[in-house]
Every structure is written in structure tokens, then in C-alpha cells.
């Protein structure tokens, strides 16, 4: 199981080395991103922890019997965990904003549903009205169908009357011819027999009845024409309403087209403002990355300046004869003088091995810091040459690398100081050992034999140069910060304007959608109304044409009947002398 632990060393009376190292378990990993605190203050003695400094945080993997399986410094892992935690906080913040947006969207959707429900109720009422109109038109069409059937019956009756008149006329002509022949044969004063007289009388009565029937058909036809005219007047009112609805639909359609054009223009303006805002944001991110890089460079240079200043003070103290005092206070020299030589030799060897381990670790960290610096420089070059789409991902990667660089650099400050401290302790132990062995110290030269003046002067010049460079960087950071503040103000203003335009566009789009729906519904009603009226109008027009045709035919029949009626009157007058008296 993986634990986060702190290295604790029990210092011996002879300096920093030689003590037993223990691990104080702080937290235990329960899952990939789940850690829980370890209760209690128990410490586990671990020999492998001697290579770490006192107070160092390490990650240690322990078996069920608390045996160390793997141990490593936790600096990089803690950096990664903190970065992941920062990302999770950003994600949670984004999720909270997304939840607020969803709440606002749900509120708007609820209001929209209520409005749609009211519109549906209004449309249901309109549909009920249209159904009533449809029922009236259906009744009117049924009435027209009845009139058409009646007209067809009238036409059939006219045809029958005309056929009867033609038949009676033909029979009458035959009888007339027979009478003429009898008159020519019998001469003046002859009379028609009773049978012929009755037959001629019946034919004339039948012909007169057919003429009377034609007059009755004319009256029914006139009534049908009047009904058709009344129906056409009602249809004309419906056609006028349809034209009004069509004109209203065309006017609303023009308004929708105007709204659509205005919406497209405003949308184009918003897209252009978004492009300008994206460019400003890109410029702002670039300046922020530059600021982060300069701040990281400033921190690194500040550490270097402090290190050079510390070195300058130490060498100045050595040059003035006061530099050895601070070093002698680190180790209890009297205790080392009383220690057996063999034990002192073992202690010095142990300190040398410990120093080599720490030196290799710090050297590896220095190399990793150099690699991260090169990576940051490469990312800066990529950001300058990248497109707007790729720049966002590169800037996020740049921010992560800068954060990791800063945390690793801050960790290395303490590591460098501990390395220097261990090196000083080792030198003091070696000095005591060589003095007790009576051998010369090949690695140590007396301060009086070295002229530290040029080195101190060079360090002073270097310290001044680095301080000037640091001031220049701080001035550049201030200028970049002022530019960022100005651009942030512009971006916030443009963002507010863009948000207002976006809300306005949403409102315009909603209004346009509603208008389109209303116009589509209006056109649908116009089309349905026309589809309902057109068949009725076609039937009524066809019926009118049939009635006109029947009227023309009936006029011809009446004209012929009047002629025949005159002929019948003449026949009756001519045959009155031939008919037997009652």
C-alpha cells in the first residue's frame, strides 16, 4: 500500500549524520485520487530513508508487514497531485457555471413551455372555429349536391316532356294528314267520325299538357337558379374572407422576411465581434504566458541573486577571518576529538556516501529543471508561431509547465542549502580526522594561503549585474502587467457587449421562430380554407352551367310549345266543323 510519509532523523551528538532515520506516516492512498490521513504519531524505522534529509516528504510502498518495497521523494508526485487538484477545482468551477446555465436554460424552457401551451390552446380554439366553418361548408356542399340532383331531375323531366311533345306532335301530324285525305276524298260538308274525333281531341289535350308541364319545369328551374345564386353569394363572402387572410399572410410574411434579414445582419455583426474578441483573448493569453515566464525567470534570478549574495557574504567573512566561525558552530568538535578514531573514520565514510547520494539527487533535479526550462522555451516559440486554435492547448500546456517549474525550483532551493550544509559538516569531520591521524589535508588550504579578494570583487560585480537584470525584469513585468490590465478591461467590456448581443440574438431568434410559426400556421389556414372552398365552388359552377344549359333547352322547348299551342288552337278551330256535335 502506498503512503505519504515524512523523514525524521534522530540527530547524534556529532552533527547531521549518524542518526537513525524513521518514517512518520501521514496519509494512505485509498484510490487513484483518494487519500486518507493516518491517525497517530507512530514512526517506522527505515534504513533506506537515510539518503533523504530530515523533514523530506517521501512516497513509500509498504507491505502488509510494514516492510518497505519502494521509496522515493514525493516532490514531483506532490506537484502532480497539486496540479490535478487545481485542474479539478477549475473543472468544478466550470461545472458549477454549467449548472447555473442549465438552471437558467430550464427556467427559460419552462416559460417557453407555458407560452407554447397558451399558443396551443389558442390554436385549438382556432381549429374548432375552422371545424365549424368546415361543417357549414359541408352542409352547403350537401345542399348544392341536392340542388344538382334536383337540376338533373328537372333536366330529365324536360327531356321527357320534349319527347312527349314530339311524340304527340308526330301523332297529331299523322291524324292531320288522315283528315286532309278524308277531306279530299269526301269533299265539302264531310264530318270526321266519332273515333277519330276523340283520338284527335286526346292528342291535342296531351300536347297541351306537355306544354303546361314545361311551364312548371321552368318555375322549378327558376327556383333552383335562385338557390344557386344565394349559395354563390355565401361563397363569395367566404372568398372575400380568404383573400383577406391571404393578404394578412403576405403582410406577415414580408414582416418575417424583414426580421430574418435583420437577424442575419446582427448575427454577422456578432460573429465579427466574436472574432475580434477571440483575437483580444489570444493576445491576452500570450501576454499572460509571457508574464508567467518572466515571473518564473524573476523567481529563478532572485534565488540566484540570493545565492550569490550568500556566497559573497561567506567569502567576505572568510577573507576577513570570520568565515570559519559559523562553520565551527555546526559540529561538536570536542565530541569528535573524544570519539575513537575507527568510529570517526566510519562516520566520515558514512557522511561521504550520504553526501554523494544527495549530490546525485540534486544534480538530477538540476538537470530536470534545465529540461523544463528548455521545454518552456520551446513552448514559447510554438505559441508565437501557432494558430489561434492550437494556441489555446499550447498555452494550457505552458501554464502547467510553468507551475511545475516554479514548484521544482522552490524545492531545489532547500535541497541546495542542505547539500551545502552536509558538505560543510563533512569537511569539519574530515579536518578533525586528518588532524588526529596526523596527515595533511589535500582538499583544504588555509585561508591565509588563498587571496579571496579578486573572487569577492567578481562576486560583487556579478551580484550588481544580476540585481540590475532583476530590476529590469521587474520593470518589464510591471509593463506587461499594465498591458494585461488594459487588455483585460477591453476584453471584459467586449465580452459584456458580446453577451448582450448574444442575448439579443437569442431573443430575436425566438421572436423570428414564433413569427415563422405564426405565418406558417396562417398560410396553412389559407391553404386549407382554399382547399375547402375550391371543390364547393367547382361544384356550384358546374351546377350553374348545367342549370344554364337546362334553361336554354327549356327555352327552346317552350318556344316550340308555344308554336305548337298556336297550331293546336288552329287545328281545333279548323276541325270544329268536322267534329260531330254532342
Domain spans of the chain, in order of start = 2-73, 114-251+537-575, 270-467
Q: How much is the pLDDT for 329?
A: 41
- Mean pLDDT for the stretch of residues 52-74: 82
- Confidence check: pLDDT of 70 > 80: yes
pLDDT of 582 > 50? The answer is no
Give residue-wise pLDDT tens across range 464-505: 887 888 888 888 888 988 888 898 888 888 888 888 888 888
Residue 391: count of CB within 10 angstroms of its CB? 20
Grid cell digits, residue 496: 459584456
pLDDT band at 27 (very low <50, low <70, confident <90, very high): confident
Rg of the Cα trace of the chain? Answer: 59
Alpha-carbon 66 to chain mean position: 53
Cβ atoms of 237 and 136 within 8 Å: the answer is: no
E strand or H helix that includes residue 24:
strand 21-31
Q: What is the DSSP string of 422-461?
A: HHHHHHHHHHHHHHHHT---TT---GGGS--HHHHHHHHH
Question: Which residues fall within 8 angstroms of residue 564, CB to CB, at 6 or more apart?
Answer: 165, 169, 207, 211
Q: What is the mean pLDDT of residues 87-108?
A: 80
Q: pLDDT digit string (tens) for 282-294?
A: 888 888 888 877 8
Identical fold for domains 114-251+537-575 and 270-467, yes or no, is no
Distance, CA of 317 to CA of 327 (rounded, Å)? 11
At 432-464, the pLDDT tens digits run 888 888 775 544 444 444 455 666 677 678 778
CATH of domain 270-467: 1.10.287
What pLDDT is attached to residue 568? 65
What is the structure's pLDDT at 19?
Answer: 59
Give the count of beta carbons closer than 10 Å to the beta carbon of residue 77: 15
DSSP string, 292-344: HHHHHHHHHHHHHHHHHHHHHHHHHHHHTT-HHHHHHTTS-HHHHHHS-HHHH
The predicted pLDDT at position 175 comes to: 62
- pLDDT value at residue 542: 80
Environment class of residue 292 by beta-carbon count within 10 Å: exposed (0-12), middle (13-18) or buried (19+)?
A: buried
Q: What is the arithmetic mean of pLDDT over 216-242?
A: 79
d(CA 2, CA 248): 78
Class of the 114-251+537-575 domain? Answer: mainly alpha
Q: Please report the pLDDT score of residue 102 as a whole number.
A: 84
Amino acid at each position: 500500500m502506498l503512503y505519504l510519509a515524512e523523514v525524521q532523523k534522530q540527530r547524534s551528538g556529532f552533527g547531521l549524520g549518524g542518526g537513525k532515520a524513521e518514517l512518520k506516516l501521514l496519509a494512505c492512498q485509498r484510490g487513484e485520487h483518494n487519500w486518507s490521513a493516518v491517525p497517530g504519531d507512530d514512526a517506522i524505522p527505515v534504513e533506506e530513508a537515510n539518503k533523504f534529509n530530515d523533514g523530506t516528504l517521501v512516497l513509500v510502498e509498504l507491505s502488509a508487514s510494514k516492510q518497505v518495497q519502494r521509496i522515493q521523494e514525493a516532490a514531483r508526485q506532490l506537484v502532480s497531485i497539486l496540479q490535478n487538484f487545481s485542474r479539478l477545482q477549475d473543472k468544478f468551477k466550470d461545472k458549477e457555471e454549467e449548472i447555473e446555465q442549465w438552471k437558467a436554460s430550464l427556467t427559460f424552457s419552462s416559460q417557453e413551455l407555458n407560452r407554447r401551451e397558451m399558443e396551443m390552446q389558442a390554436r385549438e380554439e382556432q381549429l374548432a372555429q375552422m371545424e365549424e366553418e368546415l361543417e357549414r361548408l359541408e352542409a352547403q356542399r350537401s345542399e348544392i349536391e341536392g340542388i344538382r340532383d334536383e337540376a338533373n331531375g328537372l333536366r330529365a323531366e324536360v327531356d321527357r316532356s320534349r319527347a312527349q311533345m314530339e311524340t304527340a306532335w308526330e301523332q297529331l301530324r299523322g291524324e292531320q294528314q288522315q283528315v286532309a285525305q278524308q277531306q279530299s276524298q269526301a269533299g265539302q260538308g264531310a264530318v270526321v267520325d266519332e273515333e277519330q274525333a276523340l283520338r284527335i281531341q286526346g292528342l291535342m289535350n296531351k300536347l297541351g299538357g306537355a306544354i303546361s308541364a314545361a311551364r312548371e319545369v321552368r318555375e322549378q328551374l327558376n327556383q333552383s337558379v335562385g338557390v344557386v345564386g344565394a349559395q354563390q353569394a355565401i361563397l363569395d363572402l367566404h372568398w372575400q374572407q380568404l383573400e383577406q387572410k391571404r393578404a394578412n399572410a403576405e403582410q406577415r410574411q414580408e414582416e418575417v422576411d424583414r426580421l430574418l434579414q435583420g437577424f442575419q445582419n446582427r448575427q454577422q455583426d456578432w460573429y465579427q465581434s466574436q472574432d475580434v474578441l477571440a483575437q483580444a483573448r489570444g493576445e491576452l493569453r500570450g501576454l499572460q504566458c509571457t508574464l508567467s515566464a518572466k515571473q518564473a525567470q524573476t523567481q529563478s534570478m532572485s534565488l540566484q541573486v540570493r545565492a550569490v549574495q550568500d556566497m559573497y557574504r561567506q567569502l567576505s567573512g572568510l577573507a576577513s577571518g570570520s568565515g570559519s566561525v559559523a562553520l565551527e558552530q555546526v559540529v561538536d568538535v570536542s565530541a569528535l576529538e573524544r570519539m575513537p578514531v575507527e568510529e570517526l573514520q566510519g562516520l566520515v565514510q558514512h557522511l561521504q556516501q550520504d553526501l554523494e547520494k544527495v549530490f546525485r539527487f540534486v544534480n538530477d533535479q538540476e538537470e530536470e529543471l534545465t529540461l523544463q526550462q528548455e521545454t518552456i522555451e520551446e513552448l514559447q516559440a510554438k505559441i508565437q508561431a501557432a494558430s489561434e486554435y492550437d494556441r489555446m492547448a499550447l498555452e494550457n500546456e505552458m501554464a502547467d509547465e510553468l507551475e511545475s517549474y516554479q514548484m521544482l525550483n522552490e524545492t531545489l532551493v532547500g535541497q541546495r542549502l542542505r547539500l551545502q550544509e552536509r558538505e560543510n559538516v563533512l569537511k569539519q569531520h574530515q579536518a578533525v580526522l586528518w588532524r588526529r591521524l596526523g596527515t595533511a589535508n589535500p582538499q583544504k588550504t588555509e585561508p591565509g594561503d588563498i587571496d579571496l579578494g579578486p573572487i569577492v570583487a567578481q562576486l560583487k560585480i556579478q551580484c550588481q549585474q544580476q540585481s540590475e537584470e532583476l530590476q529590469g525584469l521587474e520593470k518589464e513585468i510591471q509593463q506587461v502587467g499594465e498591458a494585461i490590465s488594459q487588455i483585460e478591461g477591453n476584453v471584459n467590456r467586449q465580452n459584456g457587449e458580446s453577451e448582450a448581443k448574444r442575448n439579443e440574438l437569442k431573443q430575436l431568434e425566438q421572436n423570428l421562430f414564433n413569427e415563422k410559426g405564426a405565418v406558417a400556421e396562417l398560410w396553412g389556414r389559407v391553404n386549407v380554407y382554399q382547399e375547402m372552398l375550391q371543390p364547393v365552388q367547382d361544384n356550384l359552377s358546374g351546377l350553374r352551367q348545367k342549370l344554364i344549359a337546362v334553361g336554354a333547352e327549356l327555352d327552346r322547348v317552350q318556344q316550340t310549345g308555344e308554336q305548337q299551342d298556336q297550331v293546336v288552337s288552329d287545328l281545333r278551330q279548323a276541325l270544329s266543323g268536322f267534329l260531330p256535335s254532342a
